[in-house]
Structure 1
């Protein structure tokens, strides 16, 4: 056996290779700007997804020949492509707005150096290769004032987080400023427990943090009830408090990168509730900017529709008629006007485009107030993906020369190309799809049998056809209870739907349910999808709050491919469009799914919107061709002080009439 070379020598070789790789990546980035210059002349779109797929396919093949895993190659090059796209966008955007090109930007942001706002601003400037003069502020109002007064060129405002939701204070500030949104940027938020050198988790007694990280790390903090929480105005202030304390019993929640500026070390990492935790920031300036036509653009506007019935629906239908995708919808109260709200919309369109201009003109005629807050390049770069057949290891060509064939949309069972007629799912009194609307109530266990029986009677009288029972693991003596609950429902001709929220719920649901509902958190569980596909009872598939429409339809395909064609899709909201930590209803997804698929779609708006808005949204769901409404009674009863009957009557009235 040959003796391996000394470890130090091997490490020197790796270091040399790393230096070569960095030099090559820098050279590749320079060449990508040459591509942008060419696209500026030819006015071609930034993204060329066909070429990107061809590139990835070729690289995967070459990587396999050198022993590299396909997913490793794709992950690496998706990052490289994203960097290339964002750099090309920044270059072209700068060329279209020469008056903004400076050697140095003064940026106003929340907190001090080391805060997440500081990190976002730094990366924004780095991408544009300009020096940043930073101006730390103590509040969002102070950021806006600094830009309005000319003390700062740009202001950075956090607008939403995938874990804790929208930053409502920022929306309120935007109502009263003349500043324009001129850009956006998204950063990964890696929350760590930061402490002075030599500290351990057992030493920590007090934790300093901004309210947002506390909300985003609530699950971790709930496991450490011994921590005393101290709120700070920013993550930077929290880290500074710990640094100045020189005490091993105190810690801060912040990023490892920011902690390094304060000589703090990470005691624990990965504190956030969600594995993918991102914060989106908007960039505001005194003057609006022009966005070249070849850049993906986003337009943000605010509007007040007034209190007439269906006003919001009418506004959304204006966008739908012009094929404009609304990627965000937020509502905030109008100060001094009780029960009226201002709506904030992000629309994936360039302000100068013909559809957007036509939509604005019509909205100006139908709304009480409307204002464009800004048009700016969209920095959300959707990763290019390869099909499953392209990721598979190719067969031995010595035995077969037949290449794997990708399934086209005509072969996908969920699609309208595969099945022309709209699917209608019928189970007892519940009929959904192909023109039939249904109403489903959702109740949470544990619950007393007598209370459940009274609830079943009231739900039947209200107009519901089915009841989803969730929280199976919370009910004592589950088998006996479910049998009694199902019997109570059958007395009033109500369909029993059991929700699978944990893998252990599956056997119980299969045994007793008239319809099985798979909660969104299990949407990616391949084994459960296959089992549901083999059932003879209808299945409701709820969209995961982080899933795209494609992800939902792919999960539906898994169920359909196993034989069960009695499938209903459920939209309950997505975390990227949330309000005060809640998911937000994705009505654009409803429209998209109905255009692509023959499957019925039921919508559950209970988690995403305020209770008093449910009747309006029920009407919107119906007009947008939704096939039914699901209402979570546990989510709406606190808002109605337990008297939800009038609200339910209004919702179902708008659905059926």
Structure 2
């Protein structure tokens, strides 16, 4: 056996290769700008998705020949393509606005160096290869005032987060400014517990943080009741307080990158409730900008519809009539006008296009007030994907015919009736859902103790329920108590369903008979992948703002991973007219039954007793395969189930 070469020599060779890779990536980026120059002359779209697919397919084939995994190659080149697209967009956008171009910009952001706003501003300026002069501010109002007064060229405002949602204070500020939105950027938010070197979690007693990170890390913080939380105006201020403290039992929540600027160490990372945690920032300036027609663009506007029935629906139908996608809708109260709201809308479209202009003209006739806040390049780059057929490249031409047939079948969505014409049925013990079988689920949230749950389970069985969906996080009660809860449900002769609201809940799925994925986790690909590998029936609850396509796509992920025991659960969608109201979407039930063979049940727990009764009856008539009820009214539930079983 040959003796391996020395470790130091191997590391030196890897370092040399890394330097070569960086040099090649830099050259590739320069060439992508040459592509942008060509597209500027020919006025071609910034993306050519067909060419991107052909590129990825060729690279997967070449990578396989070199022993590289296809998914590794795709992941790598998706990042390279995203970088290329964003750089080309930045180049063409600057060329279209020569009067705004400078070598140095003063940028106003929340906090000081190290804050998330600072990191977002730095990334935005780095991509445009301009020097950034810091202008730290203590509030969103200060940022806007700095730009309006001319003390800053740009202002960076966080507008939404994938974990904590929209940032209402920023929407309120936008109501009263004359500034225009000229750009956007999205950054990954990696929350860490930052402390002085040598400190450890057991010693920490006080944690400084901005309210947003506290909200986004609520689950982690609930596990440490010994922490005293101190609110700060920014993550940078939180880190500064740790440095200024005269002891080592204080920490801040912030990014590892920001902490390094303050010489702080990340003693714990991954604190956010959701694994994928991103924040989107908008860029505001005194003057609006033009967006070249070949760039994907967003147009943001605010409008007030007035208080009349269906006013918002009429406005949104204008967008539909002009085939314009609304990617964001947010409502905020109008100060001084009780019970009236201002609506903020993001439209996927360029203000220079005729369809956008015409839609705004029509909206002007329907609304009391409307104002365009800005048109700017969209920086959300959707990754180019390859189909399963393209991933399964077979170099042996003798197998070409066989593979073509197989891959054609794989391309059919597994939830569709083209893939399977007859209705699917899911069986779990005595419970049958799908086809001609109707299932009744009782939703029980946070029982106080075992005695209460036993009483609830007994009454549920007597009323005619077949299963209990238990909403009780394992994080807070522990595995042993959760196991006892499911034993009580089983002893009552009911099927047990664990409601997965947090990622940790999936580790306890083996204790239950079935798993129900909460609507808020419907987009969580990691959880969907894990559920697809379980040998348990899965109920996928629809997110209140999810489209039918997104809902069915989540089911497709589970089915593709191997688990064919999938039930869809519609818990209602958010009303455009009343954003705080959730209503059962019966029209979706009809559409799903026509195109999908999977069983679908309806959750009417959000409805009041009278409306819920009529909704349940209507759902049964429309061939719903089951119903989910919450516990409160024994008599009403019994009467409803009796009618539904007839």
For the aligned pair, the TM-score class normalised by the smaller chain equals: 0.7 to 0.9
- Secondary structure of the 1:372 match is strand
Q: Deviations over 1:426-476 (max 9, x none)?
A: xxxxx999xxxxx9996535267888999999x99xxxx999844278696
Q: Deviations over 1:490-543 (max 9, x none)?
A: xxxxxx996653576688656xxxxx95544454445467754xxxxxx85324
Give the structure 2 partner of residue 655 of structure 1: none
What CA distance in whole angstroms lies between the structure 2 residues aligned with 1:499 and 1:569?
14
Aligned ranges 1:243-254 → 2 under 5 Å? 243-254=243-254
Q: Deviations over 1:470-492 (max 9, x none)?
A: 42786966566578798xxxxxx
Q: Is the 8 A contact 2:444 2:470 kept in 1?
A: yes
Give the structure 1 partner of residue 257 of structure 2: 257
Give the structure 2 partner of residue 200 of structure 1: 200
Distance 1:442 1:287, change over 3 A: farther
Q: Shift of residue 546 of structure 1? A: 11
- Secondary structure of the 1:389 match is helix
Give the structure 1 partner of residue 363 of structure 2: 363
Deviates more, 1:330-339 or 1:79-88: 330-339
Give the structure 2 partner of residue 490 of structure 1: none
Q: Given the alignment of the two structures, is residue 185 of structure 1 paired with residue 191 of structure 2, yes or no?
A: no
Deviates more, 1:358-367 or 1:472-481: 472-481
Q: Structure 1: which 5+ residue stretches go unaligned?
A: 426-430, 434-438, 487-495, 511-515, 533-538, 635-641, 644-657
Distance 1:83 1:559, change over 3 A: closer
Give the structure 2 partner of residue 404 of structure 1: 403
Distance 1:529 1:132, change over 3 A: same
RMSD: 4.9
Give the structure 1 partner of residue 541 of structure 2: 542
Give the structure 1 partner of residue 445 of structure 2: 444
- Secondary structure of the 2:403 match is coil
- Secondary structure of the 1:351 match is coil
Q: Shift of residue 309 of structure 1? A: 2.1
Deviates more, 1:302-311 or 1:165-174: 302-311
Q: Given the alignment of the two structures, is residue 100 of structure 1 paired with residue 100 of structure 2, yes or no?
A: yes
- Secondary structure of the 1:404 match is helix
What CA distance in whole angstroms lies between the structure 2 residues aligned with 1:104 and 1:138?
23
Q: Is the 8 A contact 1:423 1:598 kept in 2?
A: no
What CA distance in whole angstroms lies between the structure 2 residues aligned with 1:442 and 1:45?
50
Q: Is the 8 A contact 2:57 2:386 kept in 1?
A: yes
What CA distance in whole angstroms lies between the structure 1 residues aligned with 2:11 and 2:467?
63
Q: Deviations over 1:398-421 (max 9, x none)?
A: 874447343479833545877999
**Length-normalised TM-score, structure 1:** 0.76
What CA distance in whole angstroms lies between the structure 1 residues aligned with 2:273 and 2:551?
22
Q: Given the alignment of the two structures, is residue 174 of structure 1 paired with residue 174 of structure 2, yes or no?
A: yes
In the alignment of these two chains, the number of paired residues is 593
Give the structure 2 partner of residue 209 of structure 1: 209
Distance 1:626 1:168, change over 3 A: farther
Q: Deviations over 1:625-649 (max 9, x none)?
A: 9999999979xxxxxxx99xxxxxx
Q: Given the alignment of the two structures, is residue 151 of structure 1 paired with residue 146 of structure 2, yes or no?
A: no
Q: Deviations over 1:593-651 (max 9, x none)?
A: 879945798887999xx99xx99xx9xxx9xx9999999979xxxxxxx99xxxxxxxx
What CA distance in whole angstroms lies between the structure 2 residues aligned with 1:338 and 1:220?
38
Q: Is the 8 A contact 1:196 1:246 kept in 2?
A: no
What CA distance in whole angstroms lies between the structure 2 residues aligned with 1:528 and 1:400?
29
Q: Structure 2: which 5+ residue stretches go unaligned?
A: 427-432, 473-480, 501-505, 522-526, 634-646
Q: Shift of residue 33 of structure 1? A: 0.6
**Length-normalised TM-score, structure 2:** 0.77
Q: Shift of residue 189 of structure 1? A: 1.0
Deviates more, 1:313-322 or 1:278-287: 313-322
